Amino acid sequence: DIVMTQSPLSLPVTPGEPASISCKSSQSLMYSNGYNYLEWYLQKPGQSPQLLIYLVSSRASGVPDRFSGSGSGTDFTLKISRVEAEDVGVYYCMQVLQIPYTFGQGTKLEIK
C-alpha cells in the first residue's frame, strides 16, 4: 500500500493569514501520462469529507480560489492564501493512483 504522511497534524491559524499543509507519499503518484493522482479533502466538523482538489492542483466545483495545490512525485502541498473561519476542519490528502486508495492521517486546522 502507498503510505501517505501529512504534516503538521495540528495547524492553528489566525484569520486572514496563510496556511500550508504538506503531504508525502511512500512512492511516486505520477502515472505515465505525467499526471499525479493526488487529491485533497476537507472534513468540516460534524460533516462528511468533501473534495477540494484533484490531480494536485485542480479545484473542484465551487471551491474558492484561495485554495491551491502544488507538488509532484512524492511531495505535495495544499495552501490557503487567507484562512477564513469556514475553513476549519480536518484536511486529508488521498492517493488515487492505485488500489487500495489511501489517505493521510489528517491535519486539523483551527482558528486562533
- The Cα 6–Cα 25 span in angstroms is 9
Binding of residue 60 to other proteins (CB under 8 A): yes
Nearest to 66 by CA among 49, 39, 85: 85
Options 58, 70, 73, 111; binder of other proteins; rule CB under 8 A: 58
Taking CB under 8 A as the rule, which mask of x and - marks residues 87-106 in contact with other proteins? -----x-x-x--xxxxxxxx
At residue 26, the 3 state secondary structure works out as coil
Options 48, 65, 85, 112; binder of other proteins; rule CB under 8 A: 48
CB atoms within 10 A of CB 58: 12
- Minimum separation from the CB atom of position 3 to other proteins (A): 11
